Amino acid sequence: MNILISTWSLQVGGGEILAMNLAAGLDRLGHRVVVFNQRAELHDAALVQRLLPPGVRVVSMADRPRRSYWAYKLNALGQRLGLRYAFYERAQQAYFRACLKRYGIELVNSHATYSDRLCAPGLREARIPFVITEHGEYTMFARERRPLDFAPVLRQADALVTVSDYCRLVLQGALEDLPPVHTIFNGIRVDAPPAAGAMRAQLGIGAGAFVYGMVARGIAEKGWEAALLAFRALRPLVGRDVQLVLVGGSGYLDDLRAQYAAEPGVHFVGRVPNPDFYVAGFDVGLLPSYFAGEALPLAVIEYLFYDKPVVATDVGGMGEILLDAASGDAAGLLTALDHPTQRPDVPALTAAMRRYATDAALYAAHQQVARRRQATFSLAGCVRQYEALFEQVVAGRAQQLGRVSG
């Protein structure tokens, strides 16, 4: 099958990583895959080289630099004149339609609201099957009661994939007449795990220390400051060396680093190309998020693949990652948001973090569940589910067209 996967960017991000891993997995299964990067300037060459095999072709407006340059110029001129023409987007859509023809695309799978909107007109004209993967953006719009002007794009799709049942239920509750909605959990790729002691040696952390760590985008809503405040409160409560490692980069995190520079036991490592190097050295993974679009955070899944129990807020699909519905066992401790503020409850986070540092039996039990949960989020299983859905959608569209022509 000739498949085009459309992304917002080719940088670090949950949707972007899943799109690239999916493209690589489909390529390994013998499909011909093209990745269309809708934001050509957002391209992490090292990440793309690591995740995408040579057989996957990457296309974007960078392929047409002259046309891209003049489209940007016309956009800027239009803005100065108060016009609403989107010359660059029109140029993108023209190139997208050209790629559909050039590569004989039989199905498009899009992974961001921006991408979905740009793909929809060309796919409607070409009558090519369209599968949208929802990573939490539409769910956030629906929860915040924004105007549901995206509904026509969703209804154009032949199928919707949500990365958690949480997203599926929110969308189905907000909109009627949606196409079939399928939950497919994100699968992740884990390379040969680094030695746990390497990170500790690099940061000067003693072998006997109990290490909490957090990997996330560098936005406030991921709960970075709550993690810091909970750790500060924890230190006097446990009779052992505890450390906190924070992996991420942004101006916001630079400000936090300056504010908490004197805090004992805290390590800001910045934005890194290899977060797994640090995760391997954690004892517990943290994600006290209050992000409205939290769907199925990849960082938490990665913690499980390194056998790390998790302390997190009970938002979005977090419970679907950490709780085994069949057995009722947990791979982590979930804390509720503070009801009036809808922000992390710092005392509750502190209490949960303290339990792991002081209760070895609980820690070992949750570590065992973390190992069992890994099978649910295997990349191979995720790719196979997408492949089956794509084949079903293409067959359904062919049958539909056959009835019309007959």
pLDDT digits (tens, 9 = 90+) for 139-178: 999 888 787 888 999 999 999 999 999 999 999 999 999 9
Tokens 């079903």 correspond to 392
Q: Is the pLDDT score of 11 beyond 90?
A: no
pLDDT, average across residues 375-403: 91
| Residue 165 sits in the same domain as residue 215 | no
What pLDDT is attached to residue 82? 63
Choose among 77, 360, 55: nearest CA to 238. Answer: 360
pLDDT, average across residues 134-139: 94
| Residue 240 sits in the same domain as residue 341 | yes
What pLDDT is attached to residue 77? 62
Q: What is the pLDDT of residues 39-70, one digit of tens each?
A: 888 898 988 998 999 999 999 988 876 666 55
Choose among 268, 255, 141, 174: nearest CA to 214. Answer: 268
What pTM did the predictor assign? 0.88
pLDDT category, 199, cuts 50, 70, 90?
very high
| Residue 179 sits in the same domain as residue 43 | yes
What pLDDT is attached to residue 398? 83
| Residue 92 sits in the same domain as residue 61 | yes
Q: How far is CA 276 from CA 100, 201, 298, in A?
A: 36, 15, 12
| Residue 101 sits in the same domain as residue 179 | yes
| Residue 51 sits in the same domain as residue 106 | yes
To the nearest whole number, what is the mean pLDDT of the chain? 92
| Residue 35 sits in the same domain as residue 153 | yes
Cβ–Cβ < 8 Å for 96, 68: no
Give me the residues paired with residue 333 across strands: 311
Domain count, the chain: 2
Tokens matching residue 84? 């609403």
Contacts of 375 (CB under 8 A, 6+ apart): 381
Distance, C-alpha 314 to centroid of its chain: 17
Query: Which CATH number characterizes residue 126's domain?
Result: 3.40.50.2000
Q: What is the DSSP letter of 271?
A: S
pLDDT, average across residues 207-235: 96
Tokens matching residue 63? 């392929």
pLDDT category, 79, cuts 50, 70, 90?
low
What pLDDT is attached to residue 172? 94
155 or 192, higher pLDDT: 155
Length of the chain: 406
* 3-class secondary structure, 311: strand
Alpha-carbon distance of 406 to 400, in angstroms, equals 10
The runs of H, that is alpha helices, within 204-343 are: 224-234, 251-259, 275-279, 298-305, 318-322
Tokens 């199905």 correspond to 107
Structural domain of 365: 196-377
Cβ–Cβ < 8 Å for 138, 163: no
On the CB side of 102, how many CA atoms lie within 13 Å of its CA? 12
What pLDDT is attached to residue 265? 96
What pLDDT is attached to residue 143? 86
| Residue 36 sits in the same domain as residue 70 | yes
**Neighbour tally for 262: CB within 10 Å:** 6
| Residue 156 sits in the same domain as residue 301 | no
| Residue 172 sits in the same domain as residue 246 | no
| Residue 292 sits in the same domain as residue 362 | yes
Choose among 340, 339, 336: nearest CA to 319. Answer: 336
| Pairing verdict, β 337-338 and 343-344 | antiparallel
**Per-residue b or e along 333-368, where b marks 16 or more CB atoms closer than 10 Å to that residue's CB:** bbbebbeeeebbbbebbbbbbbbbbeeeeebeebbe
What is the widest separation between alpha-carbon atoms in the chain? 77
Angle at 18 between CA 12 and CA 19, to 5 degrees: 95
pLDDT category, 272, cuts 50, 70, 90?
confident
In a 10 Å sphere around its CB, with 0-12 CB exposed, 13-18 middle and 19+ buried, how is residue 74 labelled? middle
- Lowest-confidence region among 78-82, 267-271, 321-325: 78-82
Tokens matching residue 284? 């517990």
Q: Is the pLDDT score of 114 beyond 80?
A: yes
Tokens matching residue 167? 């997203």
H or E element: which one contains 118? helix 113-126
Q: What are phi and psi of 302, to 5 degrees?
A: -65, -40
Q: Is the pLDDT score of 257 beyond 90?
A: yes
Distance, C-alpha 60 to centroid of its chain: 21
Q: Is the pLDDT score of 85 beyond 60?
A: no
| Residue 346 sits in the same domain as residue 365 | yes
Alpha-carbon distance of 214 to 227, in angstroms, equals 8
- Lowest-confidence region among 62-66, 299-303, 318-322, 357-361: 62-66
Tokens matching residue 193? 């795990």
Tokens matching residue 381? 């299983």
Cβ–Cβ < 8 Å for 364, 371: no
Alpha-carbon distance of 233 to 348, in angstroms, equals 11
pLDDT category, 284, cuts 50, 70, 90?
very high
